[in-house]
Amino acid sequence: MIYLQLFLSFLIVGLFSIGGGYAAMPIIQSEIVAKHGWLTVEEFSHLVTIAEMTPGPIVVNGATFVGNRIAGIPGAIIATLGSIFPALIIVSLLAYLYYRYKTLDTMNSILSSLRPVVIALIASAGLGILLNLLFGQKAQTIENLNWIGLVLFGAAFFAMRKLKWNPVLVMFLCGGLYLGIHLLLGSV
């Protein structure tokens, strides 16, 4: 019974979180915290922090976390399946339509108009992460600027763009260097 409830709740979360990531938060909160009381508000805030700190989509992270706490590993698996179930069906359907009508004139025009918008969305996500690194939650003034972060960002950009280094390697180097510099400066 609890498995069915978990499956249905995360099915709703998966179905209504359009636009990814942060769109899912309010729905997880209303389904999991408010409706079922599976997490307290504080546990929910931990979930958000953890989801931000670990790889993977927040919906999958949330399903695994909640499922585990409510009904162990089977719970985690069932909740995760529930959360991706709507996407499996809807995305497959859209893919079918896309490949079927791709060559159509109107469809082509729509797709050409969507491509620049997708680039803009990606750019916006990237700048959002950069601003969060540079200023965190503080006001965006020069006194609050995280200089170490800025220099690391510049170096990482150069390493990827000009030197063509592996992005995963660059990411871990950034993490290690950032921690190392703070340890050296004794500001930990």
Q: Show contacts with other proteins in window 77-116 (CB under 8 A).
A: 77, 80, 83-84, 86-88, 90-92, 94-95, 98, 102, 105-106, 108-116
Nearer to other proteins, 36 or 149 (CB): 149
Within residues 119-178, the interface with other proteins by CB under 8 A covers: 119-130, 132-133, 149, 152-153, 156-157, 159-161, 167-168, 170-178
Minimum CB separation from other proteins for residue 142, in Å? 19
Least separation, in Å, of the C-beta of 88 and other proteins? Answer: 6
**Rounded CA gap, 132 and 127, in Å?**
8
**At closest approach, how far in Å is the CB of 35 from other proteins?**
19
The residue (of 36 and 81) whose beta carbon lies closer to other proteins is 81
Q: Of 98, 93, 13, 88, whose CA–CA distance to 47 is shortest?
A: 13
Contact residue for other proteins among 6, 33, 76, 78 (CB under 8 A): 76
* 43 CB neighbour count, 10 Å cutoff: 14
CA distance 172 to 178: 10
Q: Exposed, middle or buried, 61 (CB in 10 Å: 0-12/13-18/19+)?
A: buried
Is 56 a residue that touches other proteins (CB under 8 A)?
A: yes
Q: Which sign, positive or negative, has the C-alpha torsion 156, 160, 165, 171?
A: positive
> What is the C-alpha to C-alpha distance for residues 46 and 83, in angstroms, rounded to an integer?
20
